[in-house]
Amino acid sequence: MTANERDTTKAGLFTAVGRAVMLSCPRCGARGILDGWFKLKDNCPNCALGLRRAPEADEWFGGYFVNLMASELLMLVVVIGYVLIKWPAVPWATVEVLSVVMVLVSPVISYPFAKLLWIALELVFGERAESGT
């Protein structure tokens, strides 16, 4: 798809979530919607999907919740993976340090993914609920 094509048809759940995980627009799949790691552009440059909402509207609460879940999952996968790789001679002091580092780093890593996942869920379920389809 070129940047000039507009695909504003509603994406299915797996398509929208897959695009969000790839840091692409959940609706059209266009890249280049991030304005830095912590900021989304106002709108998708391809399909004009609104990507930023008013913070006072509490619409990012779901995004923060998704970020919490994603960062906890990422931390668990890394720490448990490390323990399994080192088993049975696990250096537990290293596991403690790794856990603390992952608590601090994983929310930063998962931040844009969580925001886009929330937009994807809103896109699929929010519009579906409004239109009744």
CB of 90 to Zn ion, least distance (A): 45
CB of 47 to Zn ion, least distance (A): 3
Contact segment (CB under 5 A) with Zn ion among 17-25, 51-59, 98-106, 124-132 equals 17-25
CB of 117 to Zn ion, least distance (A): 15
Q: What span, in angstroms and rounded, lies between the C-alpha atoms of 53 and 64?
A: 13
Nearer to Zn ion by C-beta: 27 or 102?
Answer: 27
Q: Where are the beta strands (DSSP E) in the chain?
A: none
Choose among 63, 43, 41, 49: nearest CA to 110: 63
User: Do 111 and 38 form a contact (C-beta atoms < 8 A)?
Assistant: yes
Which residues contact Zn ion by CB under 5 A? 25, 27-28, 30, 44, 46-47, 49
